[in-house]
Amino acid sequence: MAGERSARPKVVVVMPAYNAGRTLRLTYEELPKDTVNLVILVDDGSSDATLEVARELGLEVFVHNKNYGYGANQKTCYAEALRAGADVVVMVHPDYQYDPTLVPQIIEPILRDEADVVLGSRLKAGSALAQGMPWWKFVANRFLTGVENRVFGLELSEYHTGYRAFRREVLETVNFRANSDGFVFDQEIIGQVVAAGFRLAEIPVPTRYFPEASSASFVASTVYGLRILSTLFWYTLHRQGLRRSRRFDSLRARYTRLE
């Protein structure tokens, strides 16, 4: 039995946090502790009690000295998870919008070697509208997901989720450090995953919409959508060999060429 336990993959949950003091404890308490080996929180210059709560909970905490952005936060999250020896990395937003109890389900396709990246989809089952998603976000999500499926050659139900699991090899291979420090990081890393030939899967996840949960404004969401379209444009040029992009080159491929 001891040998079986030691052979279990190390699952590290990363939480990119910004002013999540009111919801962090709720999120952490619902994480399945028998599945998760370590929880890392990266605070992106919060002005509330996020750090105090994180330290009370005994999380592994890393602090940005100012608000660098959601993408910059994820870069630190993944770098520290790899440094901690993670075999599987799960991003869980500490705003309690996504269900933390579903960590075993989101990592299962990776553990069964059926996928390398798993997305928690709000739209795979049921209606996100019924769960409180604003109608304009739903419409934009449907449009952008359709374009992304066409460009990436996939049939996912959505790409704009903050609930994600990665096999270690993915984060060691894709050049996530070259990505944006903003929200479009989420789509850039998907482009990198597809370009590197990794397998994607998704599971349905319910979501919550309430005042304390993170929610981008209409203007911010519009800018985000335009940046996604720009990312898809450059990805297409890269894949067709019309303009190579360092961002979409895997690190291992670059090292092989250098050798």
Predicted TM-score (pTM) of this structure: 0.89
Q: Is 65 helix (H, G, I), strand (E, B) or coil?
A: coil
Contact 102, 179 (CB under 8 A): no
Cα→Cα distances 49→17, 123, 135, Å: 11, 32, 32
The tens-digit pLDDT sequence of the chain (259 residues) is: 344 444 789 999 999 999 999 999 999 999 999 999 999 999 999 999 999 999 999 999 999 999 999 999 999 999 999 999 999 999 999 999 999 999 999 999 999 999 999 999 988 866 666 666 777 778 888 899 999 999 999 999 999 999 999 999 999 999 999 999 999 999 999 999 999 999 999 999 988 765 555 556 677 778 889 999 999 999 999 999 998 888 899 886 443 333 4
Amino acid 215: pLDDT = 57
Tell me the two tokens of residue 200.
């994607």
pLDDT of residue 234: 95
Number of CB atoms found within 10 A of residue 226's CB: 11
Residue matched to tokens 């770098």:
79
Residue 212 is predicted with a pLDDT of 57
Q: Which residues pair with 63 in a beta bridge?
A: 43
Domain ranges of the chain: 8-258
The topology (CATH level 3) of 8-258 is: Spore Coat Polysaccharide Biosynthesis Protein SpsA; Chain A (3.90.550)
pLDDT at 138: 81
3-class DSSP state of 90: strand
Other CB atoms closer than 10 Å to residue 100's CB: what's the count? 21
The kind and range of the H/E element at 75 are helix 70-83
Neighbour-count burial of 161, counting CB atoms closer than 10 A to its CB (0-12 exposed, 13-18 middle, 19+ buried): buried
pLDDT at 256: 37
Distance (Å, whole) CA 90 – CA 201: 14
Q: Phi and psi at residue 121, in whole multiples of 5°?
A: -95, 130
CA atoms 220, 213, 134, 122: torsion sign: positive
Helix or strand or coil: residue 49? coil
- At 201 the three-state DSSP class reads strand
> What DSSP letter does each residue of 205-256 carry, written as one string?
--B---TTS----HHHHHHHHHHHHHHHHHHHHHHTTSS--GGGS-HHHHHH
Query: What confidence score (pLDDT) does residue 142 get?
Result: 87
How far CA 33 is from CA of 52, 86, 100, in Å, comes to 21, 15, 11
